[in-house]
Structure 1
Amino acid sequence: MIPYVREIKFDYGACDQVSPLIRRVVANNPGPFTYLGTGTYIVGRGEVAVIDPGPDLPEHLDAILAAIPGERVSHILVTHHHSDHSPLAGPLKAKTGAPIHGCAVGARAAESMVVTEAGSDFGFTPDISLCGGGQVLQGPGWTMEAIATPGHTSNHICFALKEENALFSGDHIMGWSTTVVSPPDGDMTAYMESLELIKAREFTTLWPTHGPPVTEVTPFIQAYIDHRRAREAQVLGALAQGHGRIKEMVPVLYAEVDSRLHPAAARSVLGHMIDLVRRGKVATDGEAGLDSDYRLVG
C-alpha cells in the first residue's frame, strides 16, 4: 500500500512559508487530477524563482505577485506542459520580465491527450531549454538543479533545491495519488527509470505541485514502484484469465478509483502493455493500442 499523505492546511490565494527557503500559493482549481489545486512555489528571498505558475487564472497571478512585493523574479520554472502547471508562465513573465525555463512540448504530446480536466498547454515553449536536465540555476542563498524525469510526460523536469535537499517533483511523484502515464507522450518504461533515479538521490523532502510534502521519501518512492509492479502483475493475471482487452480490465483493476479517472487509468494500463510488449512478456498484432487484443508470451 502507498502511504499517501493528503492532509494540508491552506487558504486559496494566501502565501504560506512552508520551509526556510520555500513559500507556497495554492490556486483555486481543485479537481480529480489537481487534488485541492496547483501549488505554486516561490524559492528564496529578494531574488526568487517561481515554480509551476499554474493555470491561467488572473486571481492566481495577482496572488503570486502579492506574495513578493519589492522582490524580483529571476527564474520561472515549469515542470511540464499540462494546463494546471504552465499557462500562467506567460502572464507572469509579462509582469516580471523573468525568463521561462523548462522543456518544450514534444511532437507526440497531442496524441497523449486524455479526457482530463487539467488538459494540456500545447503551445508551451520556454525561453531557456532544460531538456535533458543537469542545468544549475542560482539566486541569492539558493541553488537549483534541473533533473529530467520523463514518464508522466516526455518533457517532465523536476527541480532539486540543494540547500534543503528537497525536490520539487511536479506530477512525477505526488503524495495524494499515483501519477497518470498516458502513451505515447507518457512512457511507462521511462517513468519507472525516472522513479529509480529520484529514489537514488535520497532527498529529504518532496514538494509535489499538488498536495502536501512527502517527508518519508525513500519508502514512499519504493511504495510507488511496488504499486506499479503490482499493477503490472494484475495486468498479467488478467491476461492469464483470458481478458485480452484493456477496457475489460480497467473496471476491475481500478474498482477503488473514482470512475472519472477510468479513462486516464486505461491510458496507464496501455503504458504497462507497451512496456510489457517491449520486454517480450506480452504480444499483440500490430501497434499496441487501447483497442488491441493482447496475449501472454510463452
Structure 2
Amino acid sequence: MKDAPTGRIERIDALVTRVLAPNPSPYTYNGTQTYLVGTDDLAVIDPGPDDPRHLEALLAAIAERPVRAILCTHTHRDHSPLARELARATGAPVIGCAALILDDSGPRADAAFDRDYAPDRVLADGETVCGSGWTLEAVATPGHTSNHLCFALRESNILFTGDHVMGWSTTVVSPPDGNMADYMASLEKLMARDDALYLPAHGDPIERPQRFVRGLAGHRKQREGQIVRLLGETPHSVPALVERMYVGLDPRLVGAAERSVLAHLIDLRDRDRVRAEGDAWVLTA
C-alpha cells in the first residue's frame, strides 16, 4: 500500500477486490479500504466516507453488477456514510452493525460517529449474508466501538477486520464507547478462529493473523504494565502518563494515546487495581 493507489481497482483474491478511498490522515493511514466481495453479484464492505470521488470509483468497480448488500463494520465517519449514496445508486440494502450515536467524538474528526446511519438489517454474531458463490458471516468484535463487527468470508477463509485489527497501527480504544476489556476479549475471540488472512480497513493484508493478534494482545498488556509501574512511583494524570509512555510521539497522535491510556485506566479501575483522585490516578492499596 506504499504507493497509495486511491480509486484503483485491486484484485486481492478470486472473490475480493479493493478500492482505496481518498481520505488519508494520521489516523486512517492511506485511507479507508472498501472491499467488494463476489463476481456475478456483490457485497460492499465499509463503503467509506461521503466523497463523490469514492462513489464514482466504487460504481466503476461494481460495473452494473447487482449489489446484494452494503455492509458496515462500524459507524465512524470514515467507514459508513457513503452507504446512503451507494444504496441509492444500486438499490442495495445497508446491512451490518447497529446504529450508534454518542456525543463523544474520540480523538479525531474522522472518528466521529455517523449520525445518519440507518441500517435496513442489523446482523447478530454468527448471522450471514449470501450471494452467488460467497457467504459472509458477522463476527461481533466490540472494543474499538461497541457496535463493531468483522465479516468472515467462508469460501476464502478471509476475515475483514475493519478497525478492530489494522495493518499499520494499533487500534484506538476511546471511552466512553470504546472499551478495553471488550477489545481484549475480542482479540481472544479472533485468536480462537482459523482465518488464513485478515483484510483490514486501513493498512496492508495481515498474513499469519493469529500470531499478529497475539502480538497486539501482548502490546496492550505491556502498556497496562507500564501504567501500573508508573502509578507505583507516584500518582499521574492521563497527560502525564502519555508523556512518560510515548516518548517522541507525533503531536497529532497525542489525543488518541490519551484516549487509549484512559481506556486502560478504566479497565484497571473496574478490576479494583487503580482509582481516580481528581485528575490523577493512583494504585489501590
Q: Identify the residue that residue 68 of structure 2 maps to in structure 1.
A: 74
Q: Which amino acid is 2:112 matched to?
A: G
Q: 5+ unaligned residues in a row in structure 1: which ranges?
A: 1-6, 286-290
Q: CA deviation at 1:279?
A: 0.9
Aligned to 1:292: 279
CA distance in 1, matches of 2:47, 2:187: 24
- Residue 46 of structure 2 contacts residue 71 of structure 2 at CA under 8 Å; is this kept in 1? yes
Q: Residues 166-185 of structure 1 correspond to what in structure 2 (within 5 A)?
A: 166-185=158-177
- For 2:279, the aligned partner's letter is S
Q: Is the 8 A contact 1:206 1:213 kept in 2?
A: yes
1:145-160 equivalence runs, <5 A: 145-160=137-152
Contact persistence 2:4–2:30 (CA under 8 A): no
Does the CA-based 8 Å contact 2:76-2:110 persist in structure 1? no
Question: Using the alignment, how far apart are the partners of 1:100 and 1:263 within structure 2?
Answer: 32
2:129 is matched with: 137
Q: Distance in 2 between matches of 1:29 and 1:221?
A: 26
Query: Which of 7, 14, 17 is 1:13 aligned to?
Result: 7
Unpaired segments ≥5 residues, structure 2: none
Give 2:96's aligned residue: 102
> Partner of 2:39: helix, strand, or coil?
coil
Q: Distance in 2 between matches of 1:136 and 1:112?
A: 30
Q: Is the Cα contact below 8 Å between 2:143 and 2:183 reproduced in 1?
A: yes
Residue 105 to residue 251, structure 1, CA distance change in 2 (3 Å): farther
CA–CA distance in structure 1, aligned partners of residues 239 and 4 of structure 2: 38
Asked if 1:30 is matched to 2:24, the reply is yes
241-250 or 228-237, which moves further after superposition? Answer: 241-250
8 Å Cα contact 1:160-1:168 kept in structure 2: yes
Letter in 2 for 1:270: L
Shift of 1:10: 5.1
d(CA) in 2 for partners of 1:70 and 1:106? 31
Aligned counterparts, 1:195-214, within 5 A: 195-214=187-206
The residue that corresponds to 1:3 in the other structure is none
Question: 1:216 deviation in Å?
Answer: 1.6
Moved more, 246-255 or 44-53: 246-255
Aligned residue in 2 for 1:222: 214
- CA distance in 2 between partners of 1:103 and 1:218 (Å): 24
Match of 2:179 among 187, 210, 213: 187
Query: Is the CA contact (8 Å cut-off) linking 2:80 and 2:114 kept in structure 1?
Result: yes
Distance 2:68 2:157 in 1: 21
> Does the residue aligned with 2:29 lie in a helix, a strand or coil?
coil
Contact 2:190 2:210 in 1 (8 A): no
Q: Offset of 1:113 from its aligned partner?
A: 3.0
- After TM superposition, give the deviation of residue 11 of structure 1 in Å: 2.1
- Structure 1 residue 164: Cα displacement: 1.1
Q: Which residue of 2 aligns with 1:124?
A: 117
State the Cα distance separating 1:104 from its structure 2 match: 2.6
TM-score by length of 1: 0.92
Structure 1 residue corresponding to 2:104, chosen from 83, 88, 111:
111
Change (3 A) 1:227 1:158: same
- Higher RCO by CA contacts (8 Å cutoff, separation 6 or greater): 1
Question: Which residue of the partner structure matches residue 288 of structure 1?
Answer: none
Which of 47, 53, 57 in structure 2 is aligned with 1:59?
A: 53
SS in 2 for 1:113: coil
What's the counterpart of residue 251 of structure 1? 243
Contact 1:281 1:297 in 2 (8 A): yes
* Deviation at residue 8 of structure 1 after TM alignment: 4.4
Give secondary structure in 2 for the equivalent of 1:14.
Answer: coil
d(CA) in 1 for partners of 2:105, 2:223: 21
Separation (CA, whole Å) in 1 of partners of 2:75 and 2:9:
24
Q: Cα RMSD (Å) of the superposition?
A: 1.4
CA distance in 2, matches of 1:65, 1:72: 11
Give the counterpart letter for 2:120 in structure 1: D
Aligned length: 285
One-letter identity of the residue aligned with 2:138: A
